[in-house]
Structure 1
């Protein structure tokens, strides 16, 4: 039987939440009368998360549990779940119960009835500490200025996807936050709806200052990758040409001073700047050529994954 919906839930040290999350997902999906599967990805938890999921899977063949060998991060855990999902449409959400499974039918309805490939949840009334909301608001504005996509809440994991849109996503680091941007760049149509957001009652948040810094660095990488991954020579070569041109103009000026005005140039800082600009410009151009070669090698390789699965329970 074909699976209509796959629900992918990454979990890391959520022993107090996974069972209730599982029950709430079932309560949300059963009234729809469609075939579905639930995929929990244990991202190297050090508590009883996996054992609880293992116990639940014994009594439900719709529940699939993936255990990663160590904590690879939410992006890798999502990728592992997406790789195992067989549904025509895919729902992703957090296991901490802050996302409300009751919103799943609304996401699916908008995805299926309107011409969208992805529907993102928008935590319109967030139940998070003030500082976390402040940082997220700043991060969303920064992301919009870099990427050009207009989703209000890129950090919300609760989303609905047409399966095709997830197949070419490369997820590592904190890139799960930029999935809408990556799909937007690929030409997929992105929509959003307001969703319910609940306070965390059990467990500890995984959000900290380290993730903020990593998220910003990943934003720079993903922006560069999406704009210049096919031809990095365009940016490196442009910088190289610009620097070489500036260096050449300054050198010409210094030569004119020496030939026509008898001014000494070897002990002038401007002469050093001109030579360094030319040398660095040539280096940038060379880096662009080498990067182009590496990109061709990268795209010639298939089946690259950034996680290791210890076992799968079906």
Structure 2
């Protein structure tokens, strides 16, 4: 079957969530407006995630997986998803399912005219400190990137795969995907989506990950922006 959209699902110690991931994403693939497959990326999980992922893929032909030898981080998992995607469009959703797979349809409505469409969690269901730290981090990133995005860390995105594959990822760069599309001369848009509390598993990011590390990553982004190579081939033999 020829697919049009690959949904990347990074997985790190999410055994408690994976059956729900299977159920929700299978339901979405059966009703999606485009032919959709799922790529589970095991980021060196230490629990039973890998075994469960293999079982899920064995019983669902539209599900595939890749597995890292060791934990490499969220940016590496997303980068691997981009590298292994074989469809024109590549989506991304977190395995905690705090966003709704059916909201991919909202992004698909806009992607024809854009190169990245990202969700915007306008009514977040997280703790006050988590919401505040994310707001501060997004504000600081906007000072550096001027990408106009209110929620660059939202774990629901669709990107044109040719643009995604040209992003030179490093740790933390998953927070700058809209800005990296702009560096390529691409077009970006944000769309309000639903957000839900985490109901299983353990959050992987704390206050340091949401404030200190993102600030350090901003300087990495500035170096990337200054040295980024962007070319377009207009003729070839």
TM exceeds 0.5? Answer: yes
Deviating above 4 A after TM superposition, structure 1's stretches of 4 or more consecutive aligned residues are none
Q: Match of 2:79?
A: 79
1:221 lines up with 2:220 in the alignment: yes
Cα separation, 2, equivalents of 1:170 and 1:214: 19
Distance in 1 of aligned mates of 2:74 and 2:33:
30
**In the TM superposition, what is the alpha-carbon distance from 1:229 to its structure 2 partner?**
4.6
Q: Which residue of 2 aligns with 1:185?
A: 183
Q: Where is the helix percentage greater, Structure 1 or Structure 2?
A: 1
In the TM superposition, what is the alpha-carbon distance from 1:201 to its structure 2 partner? 0.7
Structural mapping, 1:31-50, within 5 Å: 31-32=31-32, 34-50=34-50
Q: Which residue of 2 aligns with 1:170?
A: 168
Superposed displacement of residue 107, structure 1: 1.0
Aligned residues: 228
Residue 15 of structure 1: aligned partner: 15
- Structure 1 match to 2:195: 197
Secondary structure of the structure 1 residue equivalent to 2:59: coil
Aligned to 1:150: 148
Cα deviations by residue, 1:178-228 (Å, 9 ceiling, x for unpaired): 111111122110011001111001011111133232221111111222124
Contact 1:6 1:36 in 2 (8 A): yes
Name the CA distance, whole Å, in 1 between partners of 2:224 and 2:31. Answer: 42
List per-residue Cα deviations over 1:222-259 (Å, max 9, x = no partner): 122212456xxxxxxxxxxxxxxxxxxxxxxxxxxxxx
- In 1, Cα distance between the equivalents of 2:2 and 2:131? 40
TM-score (norm 2): 0.92
Which stretch shifts more, 195-204 or 218-227?
218-227
Q: Which residue of 2 aligns with 1:5?
A: 5
Larger RCO (alpha carbons 8 Å, 6+ apart): 2
For each residue in 1:145-168, what CA deviation from the matched residue of structure 2 results, as whole angstroms up to 9, or x when unmatched?
Answer: 111110110011210111111011
- Structure 1 distance, partners of 2:109, 2:97, is 22
Contact 1:117-1:189 within 8 A present in 2 as well: yes
1:2 CA drift (Å): 2.5
Determine helix, strand or coil for the equivalent of 2:158. Answer: strand
- Cα separation, 2, equivalents of 1:61 and 1:29: 11
Match of 2:123 in 1: 125
Whose Rg is larger?
1
TM-score under structure 1 normalisation? Answer: 0.70
Gaps of 5+ in 1: 231-314
Alpha-carbon RMSD: 1.3
- Contact 2:116–2:189 (Cα < 8 Å) also in 1: yes
- Contact 1:175 1:215 (8 Å CA) reproduced: no
2:232 match: none
Partner Cα separation in structure 1 for residue 115 and residue 197 of structure 2: 29
